Amino acid sequence: MEYNIPVNGLSSGIHQFDYQIDQRFFSNFEHSPIATAKVKMEMVLEKKPSLYVLQFTFSGTVRTICDRCLVEIDLPIEGEERLLVKVAEETESEDPEVVYLDPEAIRLEVADYIYEFIVLSIPIIKVYDCQEEEEVPCDFDMLDKLVGEPEEETPDPDSSSNPLWEELKKFNSKQ
């Protein structure tokens, strides 16, 4: 698989890997919340003695449902993540940014990390400023329904037309 980095024999220094993440990538993950995407992922790997520093930078779109008008949209996402991979036999770490790799390993699999970074970059509320696009994807009928009927105005507490306010004014003046 193209998301396996051959670390055995990798020279010290900086190495760059570029990936185009799309629906083929997400089809490898059962129950993925993403089916369609176009994401450019750049991974810079810096190899040091017994340590790999991986810097992930990505941007693109994922296909999802707009929370405002319920139309399918290509939601823009972007992010930067860092991962430290220590070459050691111990496997326990309390730091979520540190992963341990066996010294005998010949490959470092990064597909799960790429998947996690992209999925976690999706905002909880899936809306964006789509008005700047050439073709606005909004369902304007749905948006009109959200606006609904205009709300009634709140009565003015200084107005003498509401007897409840008059009673409350009396209560306030007794104190």
User: How do the domains of the chain map onto residue ranges?
Assistant: 4-139
Q: Residue ranges of the chain with pLDDT lower than 70?
A: 1, 91, 93, 143, 146, 148-161, 172-175
pLDDT above 70 covers a percentage of the chain that reads 86
As a whole number of angstroms, the distance between CA 99 and CA 26 comes to: 23
- Tens-place pLDDT, residues 127-175: 877 777 777 777 777 767 767 655 555 555 555 567 777 777 777 666 5
| pTM listed for this prediction | 0.75
Inter-residue contact 86 to 98 (CB < 8 Å):
yes
Please provide the average confidence, as pLDDT, over all residues in the chain.
84
Written as one string, the DSSP assignment of 14-38 is EEEEEEEE-HHHHTTSTT-S-S-EE
